[in-house]
């Protein structure tokens, strides 16, 4: 039997998931919770095989909750359910050791597969995210961890240097405005920059992008 804990702050969804999982002969729901504090208490008490965790429950951020579960019950596999198709969040959670990240638009079959993934296969990971988010995840995973810029970050900074807005950059590269903002935030951190103009000038000084026209001052 797979011993499962469900965590979601939407009561109707929680009850629906519990009913569907309890109808499976090989799955036993040993606890439910609606916030991070209760979730950690139940995990500590029941030591489930699998924790199905909503990404936006009340309480601590999901990254802190996942890290705490890993400390309390290292053998528990964590599958995250989310409305957020966010490559950076996926990357952070995979680094913390989750076994799956599924959008809430995933099918029931995908959810069952993630929960039933055999123990002892810690190197296996189930993702149900958009193609674009998967590509962004691959870029983030392959990006150098030093101050060097990734290929995507360089592209965005070069377009910033000629005065394009985040929306214009996103349209040109097929990215959302939010994704462009996340990449620029990452660039600012790598270069120690405080603004778009500062980032462009620092990148030129370091020869990370070609010298030439810069983002205009306003």
Query: What pLDDT digit, counting tens, does each position of 83-93 carry?
Result: 888 777 887 88
pLDDT reported for residue 217? 45
Residue 46: closest CA among 82, 21, 75: 75
How far is the C-alpha of 67 from the C-alpha of 27, rounded, in Å?
Answer: 25
At 210, phi and psi to the nearest 5?
-65, 150
Distance from the first to the final alpha carbon of the chain: 64
- Class of the CATH domain delimited by 2-133: alpha beta
pLDDT reported for residue 123? 66
**What are the residue ranges spanned by the domains of the chain?**
2-133, 143-205
pLDDT reported for residue 41? 97
pTM score above 0.75: no
Contacts of 26 (CB under 8 A, 6+ apart): 1, 2, 116
pLDDT reported for residue 44? 96
Q: 2-133 and 143-205 share one CATH topology?
A: no
pLDDT reported for residue 138? 67
pLDDT reported for residue 218? 42
pLDDT reported for residue 73? 95
CB-CB contact of 79 with 32 (8 Å): no
Query: How many whole angstroms from its chain centre is CA 51?
Result: 17
At 205, phi and psi to the nearest 5?
-60, -35
For 143-205, the fitting CATH number among 2.60.120.20, 2.60.120.260, 1.10.10.10, 1.10.3720.10 is: 1.10.10.10
Contacts of 99 (CB under 8 A, 6+ apart): 50, 77, 78, 79, 114, 117, 122, 124, 125, 126
Q: What is the mean pLDDT of each run of 10 residues along the chain (218 residues)?
A: 94 93 96 95 96 92 93 95 83 87 91 84 73 69 63 92 93 90 88 87 84 53
């Amino acid at each position: 039997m797979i011993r499962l804990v469900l965590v979601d702050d939407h009561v109707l969804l929680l009850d629906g998931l519990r009913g569907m999982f309890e109808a499976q002969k090989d799955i036993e729901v040993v606890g439910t919770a609606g916030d991070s504090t209760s979730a950690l208490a139940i995990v500590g008490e029941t030591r489930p095989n699998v924790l199905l965790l909503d990404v936006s429950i009340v309480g601590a951020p999901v990254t802190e909750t996942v890290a705490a579960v890993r400390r309390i019950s290292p053998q528990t596999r964590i599958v995250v359910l989310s409305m957020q198709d966010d490559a950076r969040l996926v990357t952070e959670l995979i680094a913390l050791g989750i076994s799956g990240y599924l959008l809430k638009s995933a099918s029931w079959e995908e959810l069952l597969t993630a929960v039933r993934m055999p123990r002892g296969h810690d190197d296996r990971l189930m993702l149900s995210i958009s193609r674009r988010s998967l590509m962004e995840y691959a870029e983030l995973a392959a990006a150098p961890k030093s101050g060097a810029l990734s290929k995507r970050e360089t592209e965005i900074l070069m377009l910033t240097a000629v005065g394009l807005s985040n929306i214009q950059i996103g349209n040109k590269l097929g990215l959302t405005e939010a994704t462009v903002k996340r990449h620029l935030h990452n660039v600012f951190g790598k270069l120690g920059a405080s603004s778009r103009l500062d980032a462009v000038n620092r990148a030129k000084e370091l020869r990370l992008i070609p010298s030439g026209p810069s983002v205009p001052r306003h």
